[in-house]
């Protein structure tokens, strides 16, 4: 533990001051292979290839002038079809505006009024934000479109009915786990 300080340049690698980014209207971005990020990798099909996602974090303000980040992630990720168990690429494109809170009190206040709020009292880890955003945008029960799926449709499944309307038990379990795992957020 000889190195207690970040390298010259001031900021810890991968972390950034969200309020400063917002105040300056600056952006961060890059590409990352999500097979190196355990939480997302667990949701991907096991393929040999990489799962490259491009990301961008734009600092700025919302319509009311409050500090905010706009987070964009996009890429093609290999998911495992829950019907035929084969891997297929799914295009992900997700953009979210995250309001910044300076402390817990502000977080609680904004959280009650707004959709997505981020506690930014300490430097944030860009990759964690990207990871969280991807986890939110991945389908719980990914499936091929019916016409492209080699497995026959289940008996009684009406044609043209989107699979999203019938989440698998696994999806429900995951949702429950997610809910009980964190603080209760509406
Ligand atoms: Zn399939």
Tell me the domain boundaries of the chain: 15-147+164-181
Cα(148) to centroid(ligand 1), Å: 7
pLDDT at 47: 83
Residues 66-102 pLDDT 10s: 999 999 999 999 999 999 999 999 999 999 999 999 9
Is the CB of residue 167 less than 8 Å from the CB of residue 141? yes
Token couple for 34 = 């999500």
Residues 109-126 pLDDT 10s: 888 777 789 999 999 999
- State how far the Cα of 87 lies from the Cα of 45, in Å rounded to an integer: 6
Contacts of 74 (CB under 8 A, 6+ apart): 53, 54, 55, 91, 92, 93, 94
Beta bridge partner(s), residue 154:
none
Is the CB of residue 177 less than 8 Å from the CB of residue 169? no
Cα(142) to centroid(ligand 1), Å: 9
Least confident range of 105-109, 122-126, 127-131, 164-168: 164-168
Q: pLDDT at residue 4 above 50?
A: no
Burial of 121 per CB tally in 10 Å (0-12, 13-18, 19+): middle
More confident residue, 42 or 184: 42
E strands, the chain, are 15-16, 27-33, 52-61, 67-80, 87-101, 117-119, 124-125
Cα(72) to centroid(ligand 1), Å: 28
Least confident range of 32-36, 111-115, 124-128, 170-174: 170-174
Distance of CA 120 to the CA centre of its chain: 17
Least confident range of 55-64, 98-107, 109-118: 109-118
Q: Output the pTM of the full model.
A: 0.72
Cα(79) to centroid(ligand 1), Å: 10
Cα(140) to centroid(ligand 1), Å: 14
How much of the chain exceeds pLDDT 90, in percent? 60
Cα(96) to centroid(ligand 1), Å: 29
């Amino acid at each position: 533990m000889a190195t207690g300080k970040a390298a010259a340049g001031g900021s810890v690698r991968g972390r950034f001051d969200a309020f400063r980014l917002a105040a300056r209207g600056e952006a961060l971005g890059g590409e990352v292979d999500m097979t190196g990020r355990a939480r997302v990798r667990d949701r991907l099909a096991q393929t040999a290839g990489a799962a490259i996602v491009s990301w961008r974090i734009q600092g700025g303000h919302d319509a009311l002038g409050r500090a905010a980040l706009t987070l964009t992630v996009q890429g093609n990720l290999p998911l495992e079809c829950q019907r035929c168990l084969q891997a297929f690429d799914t295009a992900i494109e997700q953009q979210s505006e995250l309001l910044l809170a300076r402390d817990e009190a502000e977080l609680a206040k904004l959280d009650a009024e707004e959709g997505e709020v981020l506690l930014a009292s300490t430097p944030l880890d860009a990759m964690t934000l990207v990871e969280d955003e991807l986890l939110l945008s991945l389908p719980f029960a990914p499936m091929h479109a019916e016409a492209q799926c080699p497995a026959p449709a289940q008996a009684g499944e009406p044609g043209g009915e989107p699979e999203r309307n019938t989440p698998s038990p696994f999806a429900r379990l995951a949702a429950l786990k997610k809910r009980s795992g964190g603080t209760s957020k509406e």
